[in-house]
Amino acid sequence: MAMNRLCFFATTSIGVEDVAAEEVRSLIGSDVKLEVGRVSFKGGVGDIYVLNLKARTLHKVYIQLVKADFKTLDDIYRVARSLDYTWIIDGDQSFAIRSERIGGHCFTSMDVSRVVGQAVIDSYQEATGRRLRVDLEQPDVEIYCLVRNYSLLMGVNTTGESLHKRGYRVYDHPAALKPTIAAAMLKISGWRPGESLLDPMCGGATIPIEAALMARGVMPSKFRSSFAFLKLKICDLQEFKAVRDKLLMEENCSFNPEIYAMDKLQKHLSGGVKNAEEAGVKDAIKFKIGDATKPEEYPNGFFSHIIVNPPYGLRAHPKEGVGRLYEEFLKALKAKNPGSTLTIITAASKRFREAAEKTNITIMERRKIMHGDLPAEIFTCKI
Ligand SMILES: C[S@@+](CC[C@H](N)C(=O)[O-])C[C@H]1O[C@@H](n2cnc3c(N)ncnc32)[C@H](O)[C@@H]1O
């Protein structure tokens, strides 16, 4: 196995694959192909450390084992059985297969896990004479299988739990945004760390925290203690530590960005402050209680970028109320901050488009995105 040219795929939210691809390109300099909810590229073992530590928009990074077409479950067994696993799993390590299945089949994802698991055991036993252990709870090596219609994709998880679990969220807002989506919004908005930014409905402050980490060049995964690659036999703990130490040196914690966060509820604002403290960027964000529909309650000054994740009206408010909130919010922005760029994510797209029309605000760009299981849209507007 040529370790300097491994094939990888990495998952992200559906709708921001282009943003994730651009990020991978800039981090490791590889050509990147876009697929649904993931990107694929080539790289070396060192790129596993860099991507897991530095990527802001990726969820999990996998070493691709195979991508093949199949017709039956037996074909899946044959494809998986033909692969060599000795370079990635040690004889005394345990493994698990995690499968996902999309499309109509006469078998379940559990069937896929079962036959692929058997194929891994059989292939390994033939090559080494040793029978690998299965551990579904805490495997040393996790192999992912995606069956989409008649295509099979297999990969080794180098990340473990998704990278959107940054490790700084001590206050869990009931409608929190995934940090990876917040980071994608920051990139989509065109905001640069030298420019001013306000999240006027900040909740647990995910957007301002991601902005502050970006502005100071802080690794988003700095607060995570575990990565699946630490157990992979091709990875080297000393090399990983060296990469991590080098990345720590790139932080610029004396940089003071112009980042503001506001919420009308003290409970959420205090939660946001706690999260920012945990992320080590409390001093980089100015927090203020205030109502985003009232221009006089905004912090002083002009903000070149407003980036926000408002209520969608799905839980507490009926949709009608959310339409009014959006309209009043846009009116307040026009009064307080004309000339700024607004980047907003909402699942109540129609309500937002109506509010923009009523307030004469032009939508410059829109894209559909999956916010977890919820179809949402990101809009970019000039105020
Ligand atoms: C979807 S949540 C934001 C979640 C946040 N992005 C996070 O990751 O934790 C929306 C927030 O908007 C706040 N909000 C609702 N109406 C507001 C208003 N008129 N002015 C300011 N904040 C408001 C709510 O209190 C809530 O915290």
pLDDT digits (tens, 9 = 90+) for 143-186: 999 999 999 999 999 999 999 999 999 999 999 999 999 999 99
Tell me the one-letter amino acid at 150.
Answer: Y
CATH of the domain at 151: 3.30.2130.30
CA 184 to ligand 1 centroid distance, Å: 19
Q: Which of 170, 268, 278, 297 to mutate to test the pocket of ligand 1 (most atoms within 8 A of CB)?
A: 268
Question: 294: number of CA atoms within 13 Å, CB side?
Answer: 8
Answer yes or no: do 200 and 102 share one domain: no
Q: Which of 202, 266, 298, 322 to mutate to test the pocket of ligand 1 (most atoms within 8 A of CB)?
A: 202
- Predicted confidence at residue 313, as pLDDT, reads 82
The 10s digit of each residue's pLDDT in 327-365 is 999 999 999 999 999 999 999 999 999 999 999 999 999
Query: Quick check: 4 pLDDT over 70?
Result: no
> Does the beta carbon of 268 lie inside 6 Å of ligand 1?
yes
14 in helix, strand or coil?
coil
Answer yes or no: do 129 and 11 share one domain: yes
- Predicted confidence at residue 1, as pLDDT, reads 52
Tell whether 230 is covered by a domain. Answer: no
Answer yes or no: do 148 and 280 share one domain: no
Query: Quick check: 287 pLDDT over 90?
Result: yes
Tell whether 341 is covered by a domain. Answer: yes
In sequence order, the β-bridge partners of residue 95 are 134, 141
Answer yes or no: do 18 and 58 share one domain: yes
Tell whether 144 is covered by a domain. Answer: yes
Per the CB < 8 A criterion, the answer to whether 90 and 119 are in contact is no
> Going by C-beta distance under 8 Å and a sequence separation of 6 or more, which residues neighbour residue 249?
none
Answer yes or no: do 8 and 137 share one domain: yes
> Does the beta carbon of 291 lie inside 6 Å of ligand 1?
yes
- Predicted confidence at residue 315, as pLDDT, reads 57
Answer yes or no: do 143 and 211 share one domain: no
Answer yes or no: do 89 and 186 share one domain: no
Answer yes or no: do 83 and 184 share one domain: no
- Predicted confidence at residue 125, as pLDDT, reads 98
> Going by C-beta distance under 8 Å and a sequence separation of 6 or more, which residues neighbour residue 302?
196, 337, 339, 340
Answer yes or no: do 184 and 89 share one domain: no
Per the CB < 8 A criterion, the answer to whether 230 and 62 are in contact is no
CA 268 to ligand 1 centroid distance, Å: 8
- Predicted confidence at residue 316, as pLDDT, reads 53
Q: What is the mean pLDDT of residues 119-132?
A: 98
Total count of domains within the chain: 2
- Predicted confidence at residue 187, as pLDDT, reads 98
Answer yes or no: do 141 and 210 share one domain: no
Tell whether 171 is covered by a domain. Answer: no
The 10s digit of each residue's pLDDT in 245-260 is 999 999 998 999 999 9
Q: What is the mean pLDDT of residues 293-297?
A: 97
The 10s digit of each residue's pLDDT in 23-50 is 999 999 989 999 999 999 999 999 999 9
Answer yes or no: do 148 and 186 share one domain: no
Tell whether 235 is covered by a domain. Answer: no
Q: What is the mean pLDDT of residues 10-27?
A: 97
Tell whether 237 is covered by a domain. Answer: no
Q: Which of 178, 263, 344, 371 to mutate to test the pocket of ligand 1 (most atoms within 8 A of CB)?
A: 263
CATH of the domain at 201: 3.40.50.150
Per the CB < 8 A criterion, the answer to whether 76 and 90 are in contact is no
The whole model's pTM is what?
0.95
Rounded-to-integer distance, Cα 261 and Cα 256, Å? 15
Rounded-to-integer distance, Cα 370 and Cα 344, Å? 14
Answer yes or no: do 353 and 204 share one domain: yes
> Residue 3 — very low, low, confident or very high, per pLDDT cuts 50/70/90?
low
> Residue 318 — very low, low, confident or very high, per pLDDT cuts 50/70/90?
low
Domain residues for 24? 3-157
> Does the beta carbon of 263 lie inside 6 Å of ligand 1?
yes
